[in-house]
Amino acid sequence: MTASAGRLREVNLELGKPTVNAAIKRLTFELHHSRSLGCAALKIIHGYGSSGTGGRIRVEARSYLARLKGRGEIRDVIYGEDFSIFNPAVLEAFRRCDGLRKDPDRERHNNGITIILL
């Protein structure tokens, strides 16, 4: 498999309205599962707390992913609001995972998603 042919998976962490702890456990599972499937990237939907009281899954997931990136366990993290062709990290992500080029959230500045490069 070439780098640009890498698969993209999408997982909705909000599904079923889990607790933050349950959502992070699922994220951990999905990261490992995506790697085992040979995916180059994982797109997670975590919501953004539109009610004014939510967003805890987003905050905790992004914090967790930053720690994984710092330890070298994932290549990169791209927040939905930064998912634009004007971001050099996104252009690099396109080289690794061609499916990201066609993603409907590109250029939408959607802070309810995060892209993880594995």
78 found inside a domain: yes
Query: What CATH number corresponds to the domain at position 104?
Result: 3.30.1370.110
19 found inside a domain: yes
Question: Is residue 8 within 8 Å of 41, Cβ to Cβ?
Answer: yes
Number of domains forming the structure of the chain: 1
Q: Residues with Cβ < 8 Å from 98, sequence gap 6 or more? A: 4, 5, 6
103 found inside a domain: yes
The residue segments making up the domain with residue 52 are 7-117
> Over its length of 118 residues, how does the chain's per-residue pLDDT go in tens digits?
333 358 999 999 999 999 999 999 999 999 999 999 999 999 999 998 766 555 899 999 999 999 999 999 999 999 999 999 999 999 999 999 999 999 999 999 999 999 999 9
46 found inside a domain: yes
pTM of the model: 0.91
